[in-house]
Amino acid sequence: MRLRSRLPILAAICLAALAPLASPAQPSAPAGAVITIRNFDFAPMSVTVPVGGSVTWHNMDPEPHTVTSVDGLFRSGGIDQGESYTFRFTKAGTYAYLCSIHPQMRATVVVK
């Protein structure tokens, strides 16, 4: 169990060591993503992050929104204008979410 929990750290260290050899197109650290909430839309509507990556939603609208996963994994509560919510994804999968206040606002996070 203990060794298992260290494996992602070891992998990150290995990736960091190899980063200078990689092409510039490849990120050198586990990437995160930022999603802007504006005009009652999530932009971009689909992001892909690696396992262990974080996604931050930033609300630009003068209206509160939420980030609520369809399967119940995460639930931001109201995010006011200028505020953010961050969630770290630890398992691969495709996560559909919506704004619980405006359920027509829907988007997806892919973790792999």
Our CB check for Cu ion shows the closer of 31 and 101 to be 101
Cβ closest to Cu ion, residue 15 vs residue 101? 101
Short-list 19, 58, 51, CA closest to 32: 51
Shortest Cβ 75–Cu ion spacing (Å): 13
**DSSP secondary structure of 57-94:** EEE-SSS-B--EETTSS-B---B-TT-EEEEE--S-EE
Least distance in Å: CB of 59 to Cu ion?
8
Site residues (CB under 5 A) for Cu ion? 65, 99, 101-102
User: Least distance (Å) from Cu ion to the CB of residue 58?
Assistant: 13
Pick 53 or 109: Cβ nearer Cu ion: 109
Nearest one of 87, 78, 32 to 59, comparing CA atoms: 78
Give 42 or 89: the residue with its C-beta nearer to Cu ion.
42
For residue 42, the minimal CB distance to Cu ion (Å) is 9
